[in-house]
Amino acid sequence: MSTDAVLYDHPGPKAKARNLVLTIVFGIALLGLLYWIYSRFDAKGQWDGVLWKPFTYGTTWNDYIIPGLLNTLKAAAVAMVLSLAFGIIFAVGRLSDHWWVRLPAGAVVEFFRAVPLLLMMFFIFFGVPFITEQPMSIFWAVVIGLTLYNGSVLAEAFRAGVHSVPRGQSEAAYAIGMRKSQVMGQILIPQAARAMLPVIVSQLVVLVKDTALGYIISYSELIQLGVNNLSANYGNVLQAAIVAAIIYIIVNTLLTSFAGWLSRRTRRRGRAPREAGTAAEQATIGPSMGGGGVS
């Protein structure tokens, strides 16, 4: 159901007048809220030029924000590649005909999806060094944590994708004498991957957001460098946090619109496999909740 204009009648003169009054009332309430925030900031002197000025310095961007953003994107990109591999391997594992492959793969995927990412990262960063007796690289602690979690989420997405490929495809492949591995590798996965492309890109948004967890184990990403370290120099936590939030919002909005564009494109070609349930698919486009994900 398209929500606009179905839930309410086309406004007549009376409704138009009422809507106008409500618009003004809520508009004033909203302005009041904004003014309240403004005055709270003002009372604590948070609009002082000194606090905002650092964002006009080149060094702020070159030494803090840009390196932080690059580290965030680097961790997200490496984790993406690894989680794709992890996802494909475990999706194939869960679809296996042998129970001794299917059950362990299923257990691994379910386990890593249920464990909070932060708990995982703490274990990798603080716990694993006790076992290996070697210090853990902070970058890899973040990346491995992200990979295990997002890889498991992608494994489920891939499994749904493989199920959405019409049965005739694999039947035809078997009929011309392909082996199981060939059917999976050459017929099912390429088609599933195309159907799942938007979901994969949306998962990137989750990855970008979840790299922020690296801040908690002091990986020098955007919050660590651009908010924590920057505000240690200039005493402008609030301002730095707002700027960092804007950067995250821009990056993630770009990724989301890219995912939307991809899904429109695959749909237009009309060769995409039968949709795996439109509502479910639409829900996955757009960023899902990080750290826990919606899946």
Largest CA distance in the chain: 77
Q: Which is nearer to other proteins, 166 or 291 (CB)?
A: 291
Minimum Å gap between C-beta 159 and other proteins is 15
Cα–Cα dist 237/47, whole Å? 12
- What is the b/e burial string over 173-192, where b = at least 16 CB atoms within 10 angstroms of the residue's CB? beeeebeeeebbeebbbebb
- Residue 98: CB atoms within 10 Å: 8
Q: Which is nearer to other proteins, 3 or 181 (CB)?
A: 3
Cα–Cα dist 41/38, whole Å? 5
- Residue 83: CB atoms within 10 Å: 25
Q: Which residues contact 227 (CB under 8 A, 6 or more apart)?
A: 237, 240, 241, 244
CA 110 to chain centre: 19
Does residue 289 touch other proteins according to CB under 8 A? Answer: yes
- What is the b/e burial string over 250-286, where b = at least 16 CB atoms within 10 angstroms of the residue's CB? ebbeebbeebeebbeebeeeeebbeebeeeebeebbe
Does residue 40 touch other proteins according to CB under 8 A? Answer: yes
What tokens appear for 87 in the block?
A: 């996802």
Among 116, 137, 171, 233, indicate the residue that binds other proteins (CB under 8 A).
116
Rounded to the nearest 10 degrees, the angle between the axes of helix 189-210 and helix 138-164 is: 140
Sign of CA dihedral 109, 110, 113, 117: negative
Q: Which stretch binds other proteins (CB under 8 A): 39-47, 55-63, 161-169, 177-185?
A: 39-47
Does residue 219 touch other proteins according to CB under 8 A? Answer: no
Does residue 75 touch other proteins according to CB under 8 A? Answer: no
Q: Which is nearer to other proteins, 18 or 179 (CB)?
A: 18
Does residue 287 touch other proteins according to CB under 8 A? Answer: yes
Cα–Cα dist 89/105, whole Å? 9
Binding-site size for other proteins (CB under 8 A) equals 70
Q: Which is nearer to other proteins, 81 or 249 (CB)?
A: 249
Does residue 19 touch other proteins according to CB under 8 A? Answer: yes
Does residue 290 touch other proteins according to CB under 8 A? Answer: yes
Q: Which is nearer to other proteins, 180 or 261 (CB)?
A: 261
What tokens appear for 9 in the block?
A: 């009648």
CA 165 to chain centre: 25
Q: Which is nearer to other proteins, 79 or 120 (CB)?
A: 120
Contact mark string toward other proteins, 91..110, x via CB under 8 A? -------------------x
Does residue 120 touch other proteins according to CB under 8 A? Answer: yes
Site for other proteins in 174-213 (CB under 8 A): 205, 209-213
CA 203 to chain centre: 4
Does residue 241 touch other proteins according to CB under 8 A? Answer: yes
Does residue 237 touch other proteins according to CB under 8 A? Answer: yes
What tokens appear for 52 in the block?
A: 């905002």
Does residue 27 touch other proteins according to CB under 8 A? Answer: yes
Residues that bind other proteins (CB under 8 A): 1-4, 6-9, 11, 15, 19, 22-23, 26-27, 30, 40-41, 44, 46, 110-111, 114-120, 122-123, 126-128, 130-131, 205, 209-213, 215-216, 223, 227, 231, 237-238, 241, 244-245, 248-249, 252-253, 256, 279, 282-283, 286-295
